[in-house]
Amino acid sequence: METSPFDQETAVRPTGAGRYSATMSREWWVARGPNGGYVAAVILRAMEHEIDDPGRAPRSLTVHYLSPAGDGDADLEVVIERSGRSMTSCSVRMTQNGRVVALALGAFSTSRPAVEFTDLVMPQVPGPSHFQARPAPRDAPQIARRWDTRWAIGQPPELGRARSGRAVAGGWIRLPEHRPVDALVAAAITDAWVPPTFSRLDAPVIIPTVDLTIHFRTALPHPGLAADDFVLASFRTTVASGGFLEEDGEVWAPDGTLLAQSRQLATILPFPGFAPKA
């Protein structure tokens, strides 16, 4: 069966003794290198390969981004830190040309019978067919063309537009090749949207991720979610201080099932080459 572009772009190649190689795809580039959610998906794929147990699904992934990756191959070293009766914990060290790019920890587990409830409620917005696709600006980073999106939450950022009073953003999202949303795609989605803080600013900035934690909240792919279905991604930022901000997010199936939650810490940097008008 032919692999999807996403699978080709996140592929890892075993090189022996828990080591893997991956080629960073320019299709996922942002201002200074590959998108953090894309890097998380590559790391998660290496973890899944090394654990090699479909019964142990990813439950948590935390990635610390030490420096931006560049073109070419990156090396990933996966270490199984502990494997018990129901849970496996592992770490990944991702390097490129001898430079550490990212460090990650992951937890994989079988399903455990326990109390279940969800007090979070999916945002009430019209379905994706209600919204028109927004073409990516000519100067947008390459990742802007890698997703099929329908803006449904918050105010899209535009220079010269009045600033919003809240940093919220999101909408319907899917891969244009209509690949099912498994844990790998969900991980990428948690860092796929335009940062909600953009709607509160009147000057362009870049917001590189410092760390990203993803909690996978249901079995993936979700039953009944077709390969060409959109999922709803919602993001918000409530604190920006000292040059850093947090971003919380949720990814929902159309039927209201919570697929994943995320939180990241990011730093705020001036956009390269931008000079405000006098």
* 42 lies in some domain: yes
The CA-atom distances, in angstroms, between 184 and each of 179, 259, 260, 277 are 11, 12, 11, 42
Residue 47: inside a domain: yes
Residue 119 lies inside a defined structural domain of this protein: no
What percentage of the chain carries pLDDT values higher than 90? 79
What does the alpha-carbon distance between residue 120 and residue 228 come to, in Å, rounded to a whole number? 25
Mean pLDDT of 2-10: 93
Q: Quick one: how far is CA 194 from the chain centroid?
A: 11
50 is in which domain, residue-wise? 5-110+134-270
Is the residue at 23 inside a domain? yes
Q: Is residue 126 part of a domain?
A: no
- The tally of domains found in the chain comes to 1
- Taking residues 236-252, report their average pLDDT: 96
SS3 of residue 167 by DSSP: strand
Check residue 29 and report its DSSP letter.
B
Yes or no: say if 212 and 36 are a contact pair by the CB < 8 Å rule. yes
For position 48, which CATH number holds?
2.40.160.210
* Class of residue 79 by CB neighbours under 10 A (exposed 0-12, middle 13-18, buried 19+): exposed
Please report whether residue 68 resides in a domain.
yes
Q: Does residue 124 fall inside a structural domain?
A: no
Structure tokens at 15: 């090189």
pLDDT, tens digit (0-9, with 9 covering 90-100), for 135-177: 877 777 889 899 999 999 998 877 556 677 789 999 999 999 9
| Each residue's pLDDT tens digit, 39-98 | 999 999 999 999 999 999 999 999 999 999 999 999 999 999 999 999 999 999 999 999
- Which residue in this structure is represented by tokens 């919380």? 248
Which one-letter amino acid corresponds to residue 235? Answer: F
143 is a domain residue: yes
| 3-class state of residue 234 by DSSP | strand
